[in-house]
Structure 1
Amino acid sequence: MKKTFRTVAATMALALAVPAGVLASTASPALASCTAHKMPNLDDGYDSVLGAGSTGLALRTGPHVSCGLILRIPEGRIVGLQCYQQGDVVNQVPTWSAVNFQGNPGWVSDAYLKRGGSYDYCGDEGW
């Protein structure tokens, strides 16, 4: 329920912003901050990688496809959830989860997490 609500809310915000001329394209590296996002550990849950294929899921330095690649997480592997933020839309999913994979903190698109990622919002820090 929460996941559906936050996805619908993000879609509605985007629908309102585009006609107003507020947002017209995906964030570029100049606009997207890859290191300013806080990653408080608010969620003690886990999720697994699903649908990332043979290349695995990109663990990035921020919730944007333009952010640096830390490593790739293989299909089926478990990640520790910390919290979520809005980020670049991937496969119609606008949220990214801050995760920890084998001691490596970073961000992954919720589009590739089996249960949809974290349900605990990271907060407004870094935005």
Structure 2
Amino acid sequence: MLHGGFGTVEDFSNQTLELSKQLRVAAFERPGHGHTADNNEPFHFATMTQYAIDFIQELGIGPTNLLGWRDGAIVALLLPISRPDLVKRLVCVGGSLNPNSVPAQDQDWIRSGTPSPSEKANRIW
């Protein structure tokens, strides 16, 4: 589960309780958010996406279902572009995406509205 900007894992407390009855649920707070220490790093979606990749790899849970809310939804959309092997399904809520905020090689794909390069990212949960 990927929280929104400046959010915490507690943003998902109701969903975590319900989903954990049937699924393994994992959530983390990105550096500079929630209960983590303040840092001087600028917030970039590429950096936040890498934190999510590192988290998934460290737990060994890929391919996994991702639920992202607000900024977390943007991270969830960007993650399978670079690591489709880590994503099984996506649920994105309340995210917005400016094509200019992603790497140039992916901007045409986003503007085209065509399906993701990852078949796994297109399956309905």
Greater helix share, structure number: 2
TM-score calculated relative to the size of structure 2: 0.26
TM-score calculated relative to the size of structure 1: 0.25
Q: Higher RCO, 1 or 2 (CA under 8 Å, sep at least 6)? A: 1
